[in-house]
Amino acid sequence: MKNFSLAGAVALITGAGMGMGRLYALRAASEGARAVILWDINESTLGEVAAEVRALGAQAVTAVVNVADPDQVIAAASAAETEFGAVDLLVNNAGIVRGGPFWAHDPQRDIASTMNINALAPMYVTRALLPAMMADSTKERRILNIASAAGTLSNPNMSVYAASKWAVIGWSDSLRLELKHQGHANIAVTTFCPSYVSTGMFDGVKAPLLTPLLTPEVAVNRAWRAMLAGQPQRLTPWPAGLAKGLRGVLPTNAWDFIAGNIFKVYSSMDEFRGRGTSIAANSSAAPAKAGANSGAAK
């Protein structure tokens, strides 16, 4: 796998209007991308990021897209390819968090929206853009799918979010293998699985033992370096990988004791607030709490 360069590339970022999506867009522009296509549901923040991208010397194109709507995705992808041709870098970044006990989740507002935005939307976006990316087998291209360490370990008060990220990890790595073994190894797929990142999405979480909250800048840098190198998966920080390994070899009851009483993983979401809510997560009558990384309907 050749190391990838953004010089002269076309990058498309979902959830580009804020948070880590904004940082991915600025990183692409700063490394020489000729065009950065910004998708988000929030038009006002898109304009602000577009101005920052242009200040770095790249062309910025914005589109208000609900990535959970396959028809909107297809239309926006067609428009992007008409103007720029095949995308060289796709970052599936848009996502939301719903925290709280499973029974507090509303079937549509919480369960369906989480699965649609976190799990199905990356599939919709990639399916719309991939045929053009596959057409030239000589050019290096990249797909960076933002998953989560929550997709590798069960955790109370984030059952639906964890399910959505488990789905992303399984799909993303399967896609990587399909491309590799069917003549498209020039398109490398990287699945990024960070632990908690200190954005508004996870406001109120308590970091487990030895697992510091990652700043958005650190998380983006690690994801970016893994993507450039064509690394199949990056799980970070290192205690997240340790936890995954221990969970795989220990009896369930032993792991539950360690995760709950030593590493404090199982209490990490007890005080989760997300964005714009203060309802107690442990109340059986309370709705699930929300956090979002823009790019889809909230």
Q: In this structure, what is the dihedral angle of CA atoms 114, 116, 118, 119, given to the nearest 10 degrees? A: 120
Contact 18, 39 (CB under 8 A): no
Q: Which candidate in 124, 161, 196, 266 is catalytic? A: 161
Contact 9, 37 (CB under 8 A): no
Contact 114, 98 (CB under 8 A): yes
CB-hemisphere CA count at 13 Å for 258?
14
Contact 12, 35 (CB under 8 A): no
The yes-or-no answer on residue 161 being catalytic is: yes
Q: In the chain, where does DSSP find H-type helix? A: 19-30, 43-55, 70-84, 113-114, 121-134, 159-181, 216-229, 238-249, 252-257
Strands 89-92 and 10-14: parallel
Q: How far apart are CA 48 and CA 186, in angstroms?
A: 33
Per-residue tokens: 277:
């809510």
Q: Assign 31 to helix, strand or coil.
A: coil
Query: Which is nearest to 15 in space by CA: 7, 23, 6?
Result: 23
What is the spatial order of strands in the sheet that 59-64 belongs to? 59-64, 35-40, 10-14, 89-92, 141-146, 187-194, 233-236
The strand ranges marked E within 149-209 are 187-194
Q: Which residues are catalytic?
A: 161
